Amino acid sequence: MDVALQAVIAKIPQQTQRQYGTDEQLRLLQAAANKLGLYDAADTVRNVLESKPSHFMQGVNLIMSKRHRL
């Protein structure tokens, strides 16, 4: 394990829980991973975000597809 990176992470103050949606949390996590030089992890998070619409957007897509069938 990278001791220097662990030290940087240990210095980050604990934050309160956020009530953001999962996609927003993943976007923030991706930004943090990039800042920490964890580019492969950031790419993986990006792939997850791009792989499927969020739960909310799945609902929107369902509603819109039903409207267009009318």
28 vs 67, which has greater pLDDT? 28
Report how far apart the first and last C-alpha atoms of the chain are (Å, whole number): 57
Q: Can you spell out the DSSP letters for 23-66?
A: HHHHHHHHHHHHHTT-HHHHHHHHHHHHHS--HHHHHHHHHHHH
Contact assessment for residue 42 and residue 49, using Cβ atoms and an 8 Å cutoff:
no
Counting residues of the chain whose pLDDT is more than 90, the rounded percentage is: 54
Q: pLDDT for 11-38, tens place per residue?
A: 999 999 988 888 889 999 999 999 999 9
* pTM (2 d.p.): 0.70
pLDDT above 60 for 70: no
pLDDT of residue 69: 63
**DSSP assigned state of 19:** -
**DSSP assigned state of 4:** H
